[in-house]
Amino acid sequence: MSKVIRRALRWAVGTVAALALLFGGLIAWPDPLFAFSLGSGKIIVSSDRPIPSAGGERFLRDCQRLLERSPLKAKARQYRVYVANENWRQRLFFLPHPKAWGVAYYHGFGGTAFLSGANFETGRVVHWGYVGTPPRTLAWLCAHELTHIIASEHVGLARYRVPQWVWEGLADYVGIENRDSYEELRDALGDRPVDIPMMMAFGSYPRYRLLVTFFLERKGWSVDQLLQTRLTEDEAAGVMRADAKR
């Protein structure tokens, strides 16, 4: 291999490493890019646009209330949520998941959650011009993403062994304001494939939430049992179907 090629490879690797370090630093400490903040209790919200006092405080109360009723208790003293209204901030902080409404990063000694644009006055998510509707409210998204961070605090690196249906289903279970019972969800969802109207009516992960609701409320599992299970989605659904036949 020629010296020119080796030099180019070293430059490319060094550039990628530098960009990764820069991105990691921004994820861990994004405060310089979010000029407005409001704090209440365990949650601090920061935004790149002014936060109206009444709407911001209502948002914090609602998000904290959803977390307090969660079966998974928060360990950290404080949690940080950042609202990226400007397009370039959304592209930057949502780089791994550009189409997501929210994203959570856990870096071992804490975590940061990012939400796409917000209307604090109405409590709605604003994502690339689309305004979310209940039950997918701003407080739901806050509690959903913070649940990912809280779950990471509990399981650490084992997070990557937690089945997707548990990881997303539990976050949706916590974030939904008015929870449907297992029977209500089962009867409403039926065997239909998940579509956009279903997601708008029952949250972003209705099938996953149905399974989580089944194991927590019908089978009596603890949240630790849920996070420790290695059942695949198909296996979990099989257990649920077998239970329904009894």
Q: What is the DSSP string of 151-220?
A: HHHHHGGGGGGS-HHHHHHHHHHHH-SSPPPHHHHHHHHTTPPP-HHHHHHH-S-HHHHHHHHIIIIIS-
DSSP code of residue 118: E
User: For residue 43, what pLDDT band results from cuts at 50, 70 and 90?
Assistant: very high
Q: What is the average pLDDT across 196-216?
A: 90
Q: What is the average pLDDT across 157-168?
A: 95
E-state strands within the chain: 36-40, 43-47, 79-84, 102-106, 111-116, 118-119, 124-127, 130-131
pLDDT the model gives residue 244: 86
Q: CA geometry: angle at 167 spanning 163 and 172, to 5°?
A: 140
The string of pLDDT tens digits covering residues 70-89 is 999 998 999 999 999 999 99
| 116, 84 contact by CB (below 8 A) | yes
Domains and CATH numbers, the chain: 28-155 (3.40.30), 162-244 (no CATH)
pTM of the model as a whole: 0.92
The distance of Cα 237 from the centroid of its chain, to the nearest Å, equals 23
Residue 91 φ/ψ region, left for φ over 0, alpha for ψ in the -120 to 50 degree band, beta for the rest: alpha
Burial (Cβ within 10 Å: 0-12, 13-18, ≥19) of residue 9: exposed
- What's the rounded Cα separation, in Å, for the pair 7 and 87? 36
The string of pLDDT tens digits covering residues 100-159 is 999 999 988 889 999 999 999 999 999 988 999 999 999 999 999 999 999 999 999 899
pLDDT the model gives residue 209: 95
* 8 pLDDT higher than 70: no
Percent of the chain exceeding pLDDT 90 equals 76
| 78, 45 contact by CB (below 8 A) | no
Compute how many other C-beta atoms are within 10 angstroms of the C-beta atom of residue 74: 19
Q: Calculate the dihedral angle through the C-alpha atoms of 154, 159, 161, 166, rounding to the nearest 10 degrees.
A: 80
* 14 pLDDT higher than 70: no
Q: How many residues does the chain have?
A: 246
Q: What is the average pLDDT across 231-240?
A: 96
Looking at every residue in the chain, the average pLDDT score rounds to 91
